[in-house]
Structure 1
Amino acid sequence: MNSADHAAFDRLGEKVTSPSTLAHVVLRTANFQPMVDFYTAFLGGRVTYGNEFICFITYDSEHHRIAILNVPGTAKKQPTSSGLEHIAFTFPTMYELLLAYRQRKHLGIAPVWSVNHGPTTSIYYKDPDGNMLETQVDNFDTIEDANAFMNSSHFAENPIGTDIDVEDLI
């Protein structure tokens, strides 16, 4: 680090430097192997490292996107407690979202909710511990268009969206 870089640490500004990417999510479970099997199948992923305590799973060039920790004695998820609501995964096209839905359905992984949120079309699932997972596709061509819709009176009237039948979309 040079002196100019070091001096920047004293010019903090008004905003924290944002990260470049969300790297991974770690889930604690007492239901280890079913969770590993589910996430590997759900993501079309692969295990990059695993033992009886921890498993790293990825589906892209990152070394891991999901880590599963085996922590015996972990209590079941309490639906009324604070915490993570869901993890969302984006697909580049509607075709790929629907294809992944059909592939999961073939593996016995069924959605619990399907909805057009407006900015996205989303299909939700639950893992073996009850954690919610969203698979989605953007409905707008640009972030600016999505943001404009999210700031419209139409979105304000119904920010959750409208339930859909995925088979009807296909």
Structure 2
Amino acid sequence: MTHDPTPTVPDHAGAAPDLLAHWVVKTARAKEMIAWYSTVFGAHVVHEDSQIAFLTWDDESHRLALVKVPRVLRYLFPLAHLRRKIYGVDHLALTFTPLERLLTNYERLKALGITPVWSINHGPTTSLYYEDPDGVRLELQTENFATAAETADYLHSTAFAANPIGVEFDPDYLLERLRRGDDPACLLERGAGTRPGTTSRANKRTITWKTL
């Protein structure tokens, strides 16, 4: 009896989800969290009681649920904030299309006192990182390539291997260039957001340890 050494490839058809429906955060700052997400995403409350609040900003029934925990736990916030930097989920990424929408939203939030903690062109994306009142980090991004296939090709390139984290940029300068009529496709390239007279900073550390 002969043995076929060819490994059996599992059938993953239908395994991938259709979309990310929502996420849930335990918080002692429900009021502040609702206000922040209302400002940043235009969220509104679809249900709230003493234990939980459901928010949405599009046609999904809810995108974010806030489980209310005792307010005394807010004093442990520094510890929770530190945990993100060393273990567990680091951030959630949400896509804005096109680049102009990402940058005009940046400008709107900046006028309201909400600014990114990190602005970086990863290569596959141009990304602005924000933190909500509980320190949950959100990456607001735009795709730098027109198709998923082009992104996949870039991820296999030597340029990405040499620096898989990216190059930091000045979002104000990128917005200036966009408004003066520069080609949006060129603005998605690494280094496009580096203001003349400054140095483009390549960040080769991992995202997890970026702000330790």
Q: Is TM (by shorter chain) over 0.5?
A: yes
When you count strand as a share of all residues, which structure comes out higher?
1
Q: Which residue of 2 aligns with 1:49?
A: 47
* Partner SS, residue 136 of structure 1: strand
Report the CA distance between 1:24 and its aligned residue: 0.3
Q: Which moved more, 1:73-82 or 1:37-46?
A: 73-82
Of residues 11, 15, 36, the one that matches 1:14 is 11
Q: Which residue of 2 aligns with 1:7?
A: none
Q: Which residue of 1 aligns with 2:59?
A: 61
Once the two structures are superposed, what CA deviation does each residue of 1:108-143 show, in whole Å capped at 9, x if it has no partner? 111111000001000001111111111000000000
- 1:10-159 superposed matches below 5 A: 14-15=11-12, 17-72=15-70, 73-74=72-73, 75-76=76-77, 77-80=80-83, 81-159=86-164
Q: How many residues align?
A: 158
- TM-score (normalised: structure 1): 0.87
Once the two structures are superposed, what CA deviation does each residue of 1:52-107 show, in whole Å capped at 9, x if it has no partner? 32111111100111111111154321424522201111011001001111111122
Unaligned runs of 5+ in 1: 1-12
Amino acid at match of 1:142: T
* Partner SS, residue 104 of structure 1: helix
* Partner SS, residue 89 of structure 1: strand
* Partner SS, residue 82 of structure 2: coil
Q: Which moved more, 1:78-87 or 1:20-29?
A: 78-87
> In 2, distance between residues paired with 1:147 and 1:67?
33
8 Å CA contact retained: 2:81, 2:134: no
* Partner SS, residue 60 of structure 1: coil
- TM-score (normalised: structure 2): 0.71
Report the CA distance between 1:47 and its aligned residue: 1.4
Report the CA distance between 1:49 and its aligned residue: 1.4
Q: Which has the larger radius of gyration?
A: 2
CA RMSD of aligned residues (A): 1.4
* Partner SS, residue 26 of structure 2: strand
* Partner SS, residue 31 of structure 2: helix
Unaligned runs of 5+ in 2: 1-9, 176-212
> In 1, distance between residues paired with 2:26 and 2:54?
12
Matched, 1:161 2:162: no
